[in-house]
Amino acid sequence: GAGVSQTPSNKVTEKGKYVELRCDPISGHTALYWYRQSLGQGPEFLIYFQGTGAADDSGLPNDRFFAVRPEGSVSTLKIQRTERGDSAVYLCASSLGGDSPLHFGNGTRLTVT
């Protein structure tokens, strides 16, 4: 079956611009996570949705980062006024909730020039 889909796979943007990254979770998965992975590092937690609501947004680094999941399926991560330090691979994962395993997408590689 279809896995977690993230688009675009690559995004290059200029410093100061606004970007949106999209995640299509596995159908029926109620939990959705965003992580950020810098080169040579493990994924770093950003935000977790249970259904439509953000159950834990403690990992968002500052108020330039925002994420939504209005209908409880697709999610969009939004980054305003991008900075070069935002360059990383942004990973999305979904699960059935509880202790069920996370299924990760292949990520969006964001490069801020």
Partner 1 sequence: GNSVTQMEGPVTLSEEAFLTINCTYTATGYPSLFWYVQYPGEGLQLLLKATKADDKGSNKGFEATYRKETTSFHLEKGSVQVSDSAVYFCALRQGDTGRRALTFGSGTRLQVQP
- CA dist., res. 57 & res. 72, Å (int): 16
> Residue 99, interface with partner 1 (CB under 8 A)?
yes
27 binds partner 1 (CB under 8 A): no
55 touches partner 1 (CB under 8 A): yes
The distance of closest approach from Cβ of residue 100 to partner 1 in the complex, given in angstroms and rounded to an integer, is: 10
Whose tokens are 């691979």? That residue is 89
Selection from 77, 93, 89 nearest residue 9 by Cα: 89
Site string for partner 1, 58-77 (x = CB under 8 A): xx------------------
Q: Cα separation of 69 and 101, whole Å?
A: 20
Contact 33, 47 (CB under 8 A): yes
Among 41, 80, 111, 113, binds partner 1 (CB under 8 A): 41
Piece of the chain touching partner 1 by CB under 8 A; list 17-25, 48-56, 69-77, 80-88: 48-56
By the rule CB under 8 A, 25 interacts with partner 1: no
Coil vs helix vs strand at 85: helix
Cis peptide before 43 (omega within 30 of 0): no
Residue numbers at the binding site for partner 1 (CB under 8 A): 3-4, 31, 33, 35, 40-45, 48, 50, 55-56, 58-59, 91, 93, 99, 101-107
